Structure 1
Amino acid sequence: MYNAFFDYLKKYSATPLSGEDKAMIRRNFTPFKLKRKEYFLQAGDICMDYGFVVNGAMRMYSVDDKGQEHIIRLGLEDWWMGDRESFFNRIPSRYNIDALEPCELLVLKREGDAELMEKVPAYTEMKLKLDQAAEIAHNRRLTSALSDTAGKRYADLIERYPAFAERFPQHIIASYLGVNKDTLSRVKRKLKLK
């Protein structure tokens, strides 16, 4: 399980991990399993752990006053799941995070994150690169939601994350894109005709 994370760090950092670095990572990350439909976080709770997905599929979502789910984030292997605002500010989360498939994660507490940032250069380098990538992805998604058609949003999503179409049900993809599943069905039919 830890080897998956060590391999992940190599993708984001040119700094090699020492034996001491690996030992510190093992001390700070705890293996954690979720069954399908089991919560990692529920709205109203404080996010005490941040999870690195080793295996499985997850979603982060809010529920409006009408009971409608709004998917904020989807996660597969080598993705991170947690509510950053709640995790770092110790405030109740607005989001639910649950498993859509059985999941294996490595979870980290805030204090562990701080220790790794201070003492493991490869971890720090990875976090900086992920923060940059997350900002770019957030801005793209927001701009797309404001100005692109449903068809363009779907095509872009599948181009960037082809595994999403294979791993997530259509109603989950539709919610993530901000459309209903009938609209997504029409979009997919149009794309097949092209």
Structure 2
Amino acid sequence: MFEVFRKYLDSRISLTDEQFDRITSVATLKKLRKKQYLLQQGDVWRFNAFIQKGCVRVYTVDDKGLEHVLSFAQENWWTGDRESLLTGNPAKFNVDAIEDSEIVLIAKPDFDLICKEIPVFNDMVHDIIQRSFVASQNRIHASISYTAEEKYLDFVKKYPDFAVRIPQHMIASYLGVTAETLSRVRKVSAKK
């Protein structure tokens, strides 16, 4: 049931079987069908979520009904609305499945306790947060500095799996361009 999660943890830290059993004793596995919500805007997010299988997106919908994709997450990535998790305030974002997915959920109080009980797990979490912060800085820089073509080429370079796995209109939303602009950019970059 948690084989992928175990493989992921083993690739990052050394855990005993007892420690892994402790972690999974507070974990649940949630299966999502394509387009099914993991979180809806306005609900309070209470979990740390690990993608064991599939792909999800984090996004919001504006007053005009336009979607604004903040991030994608695939196998071996973590996802959710961090602000809602930390503050207990209603989520600003939706999280839904782009593909049929399996998510390992650990409630915040249990996750915090595991971090205290298993220092190497806590170190891993700290490293993930640091890397996430750097990725966010780089994304903001690209968003305000790059042309549409540079944004797309940077996206494809960093996330080649996403470029073939995620619908183009979602990628366009993530890049902050229209679907038409993305189509034009893809044609121009394919000719180069």
Q: Could you say which TM-score interval applies, normalised by the shorter chain?
A: over 0.9
| Matched ranges for 1:39-118 at <5 A | 39-118=37-116
1:1-194 matched pairs, under 5 angstroms? 1-13=1-13, 16-194=14-192
Amino acid of the structure 1 residue aligned with 2:27: F
Quote how far apart the aligned CAs of 1:10 are: 2.9
Conserved 8 A contact 2:169-2:179: yes
5+ residue gaps, structure 2: none
1:112 Cα deviation after fit: 1.3
Instruction: State the 4+ residue runs in structure 1 displaced beyond 3 angstroms.
Output: none
Aligned-pair CA distance for 1:48: 1.8
SS at match of 1:104: strand
Q: Which amino acid aligns with 1:137?
A: A
d(CA) in 2 for partners of 1:160, 1:80: 17
Computed over aligned residues only, the root mean square deviation of the Cα atoms, in angstroms, reads 1.0
Asked whether the equivalents of residues 12 and 125 of structure 1 are also in contact (C-alpha less than 8 Å), the reply is no
CA distance in structure 1 between the aligned counterparts of 2:120 and 2:22, rounded to whole angstroms: 12
Query: 1 CA distance for matches of 2:124 and 2:7?
Result: 12
Q: How many residues align?
A: 192
Normalising by structure 1, we get a TM-score of 0.95
The amino acid across from 2:31 in the alignment is: K
Report the residue type matching 2:6 in the other structure: F
Equivalent AA in structure 1 for residue 150 of structure 2: K
Which amino acid in 2 is paired with 1:146? I
Displacement of 1:22 after TM fit?
0.9
Which has the larger displacement, 113-122 or 61-70? 113-122
**Conserved in 2, the CA contact under 8 Å of 1:45 and 1:93?**
yes
> Matched residues in 2 for 1:66 and 1:146: separation?
23
1: distance between equivalents of 2:179 and 2:10?
A: 38
In structure 1, C-alpha distance between the alignment counterparts of 2:10 and 2:181, rounded to whole Å: 40
Give the unaligned 5+ runs of structure 1.
Answer: none
Contact 1:171–1:181 (CA under 8 A) maintained in structure 2: yes
Contact preservation (8 Å) 1:56, 1:77: yes
TM-score, structure 2 normalization? 0.96
